[in-house]
Structure 1
């Protein structure tokens, strides 16, 4: 069995973005003289939200001789899971679809007309494509991930800059609140 997790670049970039956008909330609350209960509630909510983000980013694509499926670790709650499976024997064709942003995504279409989005955010995408082609005998040459790695790299760098800014603001808030 082959296992393809979501690409680390995507996982870390999205987590950095989550924290870069979320960390100002407790900083702003502390500036407003929030009670410990209010601050604790915000931190608990942020950690719960991070758990949902981690859960959604823990999807794994598993391939074996029978087919392909998306699975999650047992700790991920059902409302986060987007599990599916498809048997190689049922795959009839690959269907490209354009997105509203002008990109292209691909669906594996079964003989019954069911469509499964080809996972493109996995680590080892080219290897996954080779395995799909080997098992289905379909021509898959030229398929590329919808979002290129440099885009997630840029997102990650911008998120890190946002986190750096959040840290500088937090230090400023702390320095100005202790002297008052």
Structure 2
């Protein structure tokens, strides 16, 4: 059984990335950049987007032995945060408060290793049910740290930022050079 990162999260983060970096090449192209500099900047931005896409392509895979975090083969090793834990090794779930006042949860093995419970996946409740079934843990009332509406709000603000970037780009391109 595979649980990828939620499409809502993937789209919101990508929209935020482009909303933050897109104005740079647009403004530089109009004001001062040479074609070589501009081409290099676009390549860097596309490589950065590749890193974002790679980090958002994590999949949680469950089988009868345990669970593991995997990535597609195209994701470079420096982006991967792979791990695995066997059901038989899981001793408990340990809550930890965050600096923002939220709560995250770790699966703790008998050897003391900790694995952060993946909360950004699709079908999160089904993932919890599978953990409960395989590891024989009581997981009552556990909810994701960030609720879906928060990523929806982030996505909306990122789209507004992209819209604003587009309006500024039109204004910059319509202005005479040097003003």
TM-score, structure 1 as length reference = 0.96
Q: 2:168 & 2:149 partners in 1: Cα distance?
A: 28
Aligned match of 1:64:
63
Separation (CA, whole Å) in 2 of partners of 1:144 and 1:24: 37
User: Would the aligned equivalents of 1:31 and 1:177 in 2 still touch at CA under 8 Å?
Assistant: no
Residue in structure 1 matched with residue 94 of structure 2 by the alignment: 95
Secondary structure of the 1:69 match is strand
Once superposed, what is the RMSD of the aligned Cα atoms? 1.1
1:27-176 correspondence to structure 2 within 5 Å: 27-176=26-175
Deviation at 1:166, TM superposition (A): 0.7
Say if 1:55 and 1:76, in contact at 8 Å, map to a contact too. Answer: yes
Q: 1:58, CA displacement in angstroms?
A: 0.1
CA distance in 2 between partners of 1:33 and 1:146 (Å): 44
Count of residues in correspondence between the two structures: 178
Moved more, 165-174 or 7-16: 165-174
CA distance in 2, matches of 1:60, 1:154: 24
Q: Which residue of 2 aligns with 1:21?
A: 20
- SS of aligned partner of 1:129: helix
Contiguous gaps of at least 5 residues in structure 2: none
Q: CA deviation at 1:174?
A: 1.8
Distance 1:36 1:140 in 2: 57
Q: CA deviation at 1:147?
A: 0.4
Deviation by residue 1:123-150 (Cα, 9 ceiling, x = unmatched): 1100000000000111001000000111
Distance change (3 Å), C-alpha of 1:124 and 1:177: farther
In structure 2, the residue corresponding to 1:120 is in which secondary structure?
coil
Gaps of 5+ in 1: none
Alpha-carbon deviation of 1:31? Answer: 2.7
Q: CA deviation at 1:33?
A: 2.4
| CA shift digits 1:19-63 (9 cap, x unpaired) | 000001101212322100011011000000000000000000000
Normalised by the size of structure 2, how large is the TM-score?
0.97
Distance 1:174 1:75 in 2: 37
